[in-house]
Structure 1
Amino acid sequence: MIQFLLNDRLQQETTLPPDTTVLQYLRRDAGRCGTKEGCASGDCGACTVVIAEPQGDTLRYTPINACLTFISALQGKQLITVEDLKHQGQLHSVQQAMVDNHASQCGFCTPGFVMSLFALQKDAALQQDMASQKETAAQRNHSAIKNGVNREQVLHALSGNLCRCTGYRPIVDAALSACEFSDEDQFDRAETVTLQRLQAIAPQSLLHENQNTLHHDELGFIPTTLKQLADLYLANPEAKLVAGGTDLALEVTQRHRRLPQLIAISHIPQLKNIEITDQALIIGAAATLSSCMPLLEREFADFGALLERFASQQIRNQGTFGGNIANGSPIGDGGPVLLALGASLVLRRGADQRTLPLEQFYLGYRQTALQAGEFIEQIIIPRVAEESTRILKVYKVSKRLDDDISAVCGAFHIEVTDGVVTHVSIAFGGMAAIAKRASHCETQLLGQPWQASSVERACLALETDYQPISDFRASREYRMQVAKNLLRRCLIETTSKETMMRVTQYV
């Protein structure tokens, strides 16, 4: 059984197949057709809904793609759709802003935009409230009325919503208007009661989400502790683990396959922990990409910048590093960076744990070193000592800037001492059947002067490291040329103007 609030109504679902997506549930079971299916792959944002969940003594509002979210993700949360915004005959302020700015055209994508704007408005108000706590009373009075976001924040929030009528300007205007002044709405007024209701249902441990009498082989599990997960997965190794589900759900929505046995791991607090020690960053396998971003931005600026382009905000709000690694995709953006940083994985099978360097985890195309019943518990990223001069440069090349998959993703972790390369770790995605280190390229650089001639020899070595393929994203020749040029770019960005002048002849 799954319990959640559909707006303000408690839902208790006992017969849903575990691979039911939130979008399927809304349109087929709840009769809510305002949420649209545009692409069924998390690319267009037409299916965007908002989930509210407790964060301290307030609610955090998160936009997600309903088409890629399995129903188990709703346990203990509030689901808000476009139908819930209008209240007592009055449009919500974000809806009214869309009307006032003529921001709805064919209208198909409009519900998704409205829900993204709703989440943006709530987040802007929350951030302003936090800032106002540090201000004087007079300043707070002003802050409570005027929130405001800038154009960059709006574009970031809407990067996962596509308008096929190409009418982004009025939508951006609507966002700026809706977030400049936000009156208290029905969700604000009900916040205390909603918090209490969610807190009453969230702690429950639900080992069997579904026991459908018509399909006895359909079982869904929602463990709430690591031990429960370890025991369940050991007993049911054929089941699929689902954290964010942003990749796994494509099996249902794109390939039309059934996933009759699922184990949802996103309700286990230990798997969502993010820790920092003197030696390492420790990320739980179910920690979302969005929750990891602030820490990674502080530790590795380029890693944080990459995450800004990692799919869309809706995907980052659900997707996890654990899932990005475990699916073994050669074009997952996390793999190359984590390889370059020397990350390792803590794997668990039953009560047994082992630590494995990420470099040894990938065995072949979508093949990993995971044993039956074994799962990723943590990702460990070594920290760079404060006195170190190591740099991390990360580059993503894709057909469009936002909400796209890489043709090539390159990560360069390099230290240069007195002009000589004393540490080098380079990894690429999109260049082979797995994300992998460029070992021959590294050999050509280590111990050599960090200059154009060394880089050119290393570029030639890339042809030994990789034999990329051609597909609809890029040709093999393009991929190889891009990989070489990214190495040259790394040199340009990390050296003096004189070296930059010399190396431009190769780029």
Structure 2
Amino acid sequence: MEALEFSINGRLIRERDASPNTTLLAYLRGPLGLTGTKEGCAEGDCGACTCVVADPVTASFRAVNSCLVLLPMVHGKQVFTVEGLADRGALHPAQKAMSEHLGSQCGYCTPGIVMSLFEATYRTDLDEAWKLDDQLCGNLCRCTGYRPIREALVEVAGTRPNDRFSRLLAAPAEVEKAGLAYQAQGERFATPTSLSELFGVLEREPDAVLVAGGTDLGLEVTKRFRRFPSLVSLEGLAELRHIEVGTERVRIGAGVRLSDLESAVRSVLPPVERMLRFFGSRQIKHRATVGGNLCTASPIGDLAPILLALDADVVIAGPLGEKRLPLSKFFTGYRKTAVGRGEVLVAVEVPRPDPADRVVAYKVSKRQELDISTVSAGLFVRLDTERRVSIARFGFGGMAATPSRAAHTEAAAIGQIFDESLMKALGETLDRDFTPIDDHRGSAWYRRRVAKNLLLGFFHETSRAAAPRLEHRPTATVCAEVLPWK
């Protein structure tokens, strides 16, 4: 029987008995006795369980929610917890900064925050103020207040000291390169390394559940206490992690992590990057994938509306080959997709918008950071020389059982002059496209009102003489005062 192999704080672990449904958090706090990593919410919201995984491909550290990471997912990886940062009694700069800036009171959230600061210490891309807010948006603190924590972050962010961690990133020690076929306690976890191998596994185990980043599936384990008899991970499929930027289209592998997508498409698909800023925490985006977000088929998924507006196609592969279809036909019902038994989503292809096109992504939620959408939208229009709409695509989430385009509203826009009166009229047409429901995130009336206002806001935002400056969220005074690049 194959063993799991990984390292925790430099200590090599070989595990043969743990259930594949065990979370990394449970393993750290249980068998290893590393109780510095805390459980706060068990759903990836609070950040108390934050650990860091070394990524040899990008030579970077990635903060993750250990409550949502299943133990086999760290096979072949190096994991660091708060206990592993100090060097022979000397605090790591992230720990020292938190202490000196008085960033801790009750202390329960502190280890997770320290690990987010640890990741920030070695980042090479902290070139804008909003990225500091993004670094901490996945860590909640209920008693200290965030100013001293931000001050600690500003002190260490991007400093990259010449220490053992920097040397590790320069020459990472790989624990194991191969895939995985792990079995324990009557449960199985496989990580194939090619599509042909994947199809073979699915043929032998047709009832196996596919898992990508695990941010959704992890909730099934921690909140609904499900145990999956057979799991097949897509993380070993390098062919699903590529982004190919062409002159007309961008092909995005289904296994691309959202944090990688965010940085890769900023100049070629700005509306997608804008949505990803508000998608979730850095910890979540380090695990969640493009394919996973689409294949959950959530009616309030954040990526689908803007991809619908951009007229994206999806590529699905199976033992008999590939098939391509518009994303608008991908969602076949509530939480259902066109991916058949034994098939897998392999890529999303997105046409690059013309610089003159007007396209914006919106997300409306109760909080700016790390929240589930009430309504999300991707809005696209192309105008002719007389400012008449020649193409209109309006994708919405939170308005129906699936992410959907507003077909009647799009048709009503064609040939009309793009102005405020048109958008007000189109807002009324939306009632023909959607019949939203009441739930705890918003009433049907509220969702309709928000959707109409987004159409109107879309006109005003895209009609300004100069493009508005995109603010990720209000930036703390401390960031503006002492950012090292200011």
TM-score with structure 1 length normalisation? 0.88
**What CA distance in whole angstroms lies between the structure 1 residues aligned with 2:395 and 2:160?**
46
The structural deviation recorded for 1:254 is 1.1
**What CA distance in whole angstroms lies between the structure 2 residues aligned with 1:414 and 1:74?**
44
Alignment match, 1:140: none
Aligned with 1:160: secondary structure? coil
Residue deviations 1:351-405 (CA, integer Å, cap 9, x gap): 42111211111111101122111110111112235xx621211111111111111
Q: Which runs of 5+ in 2 are unaligned?
A: 466-486
Q: Which runs of 5+ in 1 are unaligned?
A: 128-147, 498-507
Matches within 5 A, 1:177-256: 177-179=155-157, 183-189=161-167, 195=172, 197-198=173-174, 201-206=175-180, 208-210=181-183, 212=184, 215-216=185-186, 218-256=187-225
Question: What letter corresponds to residue 8 of structure 1 in structure 2?
Answer: G
Alignment match, 2:484: none
Residue deviations 1:461-486 (CA, integer Å, cap 9, x gap): 11111111111111111110000000
**Correspondence 1:429 to 2:369:** no
**Correspondence 1:260 to 2:229:** yes
Matches within 5 A, 1:249-398: 249-385=218-354, 389-398=356-365
The structural deviation recorded for 1:447 is 1.1
Q: Structure 1 residues 294 and 53 mapped into 2: Cα distance closer, same or farther (>3 Å)?
A: closer
**What CA distance in whole angstroms lies between the structure 2 residues aligned with 1:173 and 1:9?**
32
**What CA distance in whole angstroms lies between the structure 1 residues aligned with 2:455 and 2:23?**
42
Residue deviations 1:391-437 (CA, integer Å, cap 9, x gap): 21111111111111111101111111121000100010011111000
The structural deviation recorded for 1:174 is 1.1
**Correspondence 1:419 to 2:387:** yes
**What CA distance in whole angstroms lies between the structure 2 residues aligned with 1:382 and 1:202?**
38
CA RMSD of aligned residues (A): 1.8
**What CA distance in whole angstroms lies between the structure 1 residues aligned with 2:320 and 2:78?**
34
**What CA distance in whole angstroms lies between the structure 2 residues aligned with 1:296 and 1:237?**
35
**What CA distance in whole angstroms lies between the structure 2 residues aligned with 1:494 and 1:150?**
24
Which structure dedicates a bigger proportion of its chain to helix?
1
Contact preservation (8 Å) 2:122, 2:159? no
Residue deviations 1:173-210 (CA, integer Å, cap 9, x gap): 11112337564333235556x62x31xx432232x122
**What CA distance in whole angstroms lies between the structure 2 residues aligned with 1:260 and 1:165?**
41
Alignment match, 1:399: 366
Alignment match, 1:39: 41
Alignment match, 1:25: 27
**What CA distance in whole angstroms lies between the structure 1 residues aligned with 2:366 and 2:273?**
20
**What CA distance in whole angstroms lies between the structure 2 residues aligned with 1:151 and 1:163?**
21
Contact preservation (8 Å) 1:72, 1:264? no
**Correspondence 1:479 to 2:447:** yes
Q: Structure 1 residues 180 and 315 mapped into 2: Cα distance closer, same or farther (>3 Å)?
A: closer
Aligned with 2:122: secondary structure? helix
The structural deviation recorded for 1:72 is 2.3
**What CA distance in whole angstroms lies between the structure 2 residues aligned with 1:36 and 1:241?**
28
Give the total of aligned pairs: 462
Residue deviations 1:6-36 (CA, integer Å, cap 9, x gap): 1211112222222221111111222111111
TM-score with structure 2 length normalisation? 0.91
Aligned with 1:42: secondary structure? coil
The structural deviation recorded for 1:278 is 2.5
